[in-house]
């Protein structure tokens, strides 16, 4: 299985600021995804991070609010822009490979917006 | 749109008891179903994956079954231990080139010593 790290592990931010979350994988992966888990809720897919092209966003999520980069097959970033307290969540990246149907998740980034 | 439901939302059992967690989904056209464990404030740990052509998978004290036609999966935990206390999530993969997961709301399990 892939080993996935996320930075930062947690942060407390002020309203109106932006935070960039990094996801690093120890091997090349085909697919990378970003999920959000709001307090007491299950996971909701934000977008699929596509290498070399724009991310594919799910309904309710837009690029201006959650810009995503994926410069190569092992790294992706998610930015939470112009934050409000409603953005307080755990943000998780996950990966999948063409050789396996299983998906693996990073440890998550716990974001609190004051 | 795929919807995934998990029942019960919370479960408390004494140590040593066998238990079953339930997961149901509305669209049977799935690629696979995956069970995860999440400890408080942590990420997800993959427990078992059942591909659409399979009916069950086993790992240690865990057994997961899948009935695509009825849109149901169960996770059976034998001889539960306090260390099994966590939230258990099921997720279905709709397959194709997308491969995104749709998650249930989870079952919060507490195993009492």
Separation CA B76–CA B62 (nearest Å): 6
User: Are the beta carbons of B93 and A103 separated by less than 8 Å?
Assistant: yes
* Interval A31-38 mean pLDDT: 93
The DSSP 8-state label assigned to residue B100 in this structure reads: -
The DSSP 8-state label assigned to residue A86 in this structure reads: G
Separation CA A64–CA A54 (nearest Å): 12
More confident: B88 or A2:
B88
- The pLDDT value recorded for residue A41 is 87
- The pLDDT value recorded for residue A5 is 95
Contacts of B91 in chain A (CB under 8 A): 43
* Interval A74-79 mean pLDDT: 96
pLDDT beyond 80 at B98: no
- The pLDDT value recorded for residue A23 is 97
**What single string gives the DSSP state of each residue in B54-103?**
-SEEEETTEEEEEETTTTEEEEEE-S--GGG-EEEEEEEE--TTT--EEE
Q: Assess contact for A109 and A6: CB atoms under 8 A.
A: yes
- The pLDDT value recorded for residue A101 is 73
- The pLDDT value recorded for residue B96 is 66
Read off the tokens for A94. Answer: 């996950």
Candidate from B98, B99, B103 with C-beta closest to A43: B103
Contacts of A1 in chain B (CB under 8 A): 46
The DSSP 8-state label assigned to residue B53 in this structure reads: T
Q: Name the least confident of A29-33, B23-27, B76-80.
A: A29-33
Q: How far is B80 from chain A (nearest CA, A)?
A: 24
Q: How far is A40 from chain B (nearest CA, A)?
A: 9
User: Are the beta carbons of B34 and A102 separated by less than 8 Å?
Assistant: yes
Q: Tens of pLDDT along B52-65?
A: 889 999 999 999 99
User: Are the beta carbons of B43 and A92 separated by less than 8 Å?
Assistant: yes
Q: Assess contact for A43 and A20: CB atoms under 8 A.
A: no
- The pLDDT value recorded for residue B52 is 87
* Interval A23-36 mean pLDDT: 93
Q: Tens of pLDDT along B2-30?
A: 899 999 999 999 999 999 999 999 988 88
- The pLDDT value recorded for residue B75 is 97
Q: Return residues 56-95 of B near A (CB < 8 Å).
A: 89, 91, 93
- Residue A98 φ/ψ region, left for φ over 0, alpha for ψ in the -120 to 50 degree band, beta for the rest: alpha
Residue B100: pLDDT band (50, 70, 90) is confident
- The pLDDT value recorded for residue A50 is 86
Q: Return residues 65-94 of A near B (CB < 8 Å).
A: 90, 92, 94
Q: Give the CA distances from residue A32 to residues A14, A111, B32, B64, B69, in Å, rounded to whole numbers and listed in that order.
A: 28, 20, 18, 26, 30
Q: Tens of pLDDT along A77-90?
A: 999 999 999 999 99
Produce one character per residue of B94-113: b if its CB has 16 or more CB atoms within 10 Å, e if not: eeeeebbbbbbbbbbbebee
Alpha helices in chain B (DSSP H): none
pLDDT beyond 70 at B43: yes
């Amino acid at each position: 299985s892939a080993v996935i790290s996320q930075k930062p592990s947690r942060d407390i931010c002020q309203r109106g600021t932006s935070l960039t979350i990094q996801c690093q994988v120890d091997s090349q992966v085909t697919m990378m995804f970003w999920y959000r888990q709001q307090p007491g809720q299950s996971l909701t897919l934000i977008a699929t991070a596509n290498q070399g092209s724009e991310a594919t966003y799910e309904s309710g999520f837009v690029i201006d609010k959650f810009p995503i980069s994926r410069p190569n097959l092992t790294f992706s970033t998610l930015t939470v822009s112009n934050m409000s307290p409603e953005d307080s969540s755990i943000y998780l990246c996950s990966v999948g490979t063409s050789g396996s149907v299983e998906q693996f998740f990073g440890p998550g980034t716990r974001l609190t917006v004051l | 749109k795929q919807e995934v439901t998990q029942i019960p939302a919370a479960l408390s059992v004494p140590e040593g008891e066998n238990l079953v967690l339930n997961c149901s989904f509305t669209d049977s056209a799935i690629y696979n179903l995956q069970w995860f464990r999440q400890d408080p404030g942590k990420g997800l740990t993959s427990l078992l994956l059942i591909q659409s052509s399979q009916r069950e998978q086993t790992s240690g004290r865990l057994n997961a079954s899948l009935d695509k036609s009825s849109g149901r999966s169960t996770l059976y935990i034998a001889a539960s231990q306090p260390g099994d206390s966590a939230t258990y999530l099921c997720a279905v993969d709709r397959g194709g080139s997308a491969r995104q997961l749709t998650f249930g709301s989870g079952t919060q399990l507490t195993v009492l010593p």
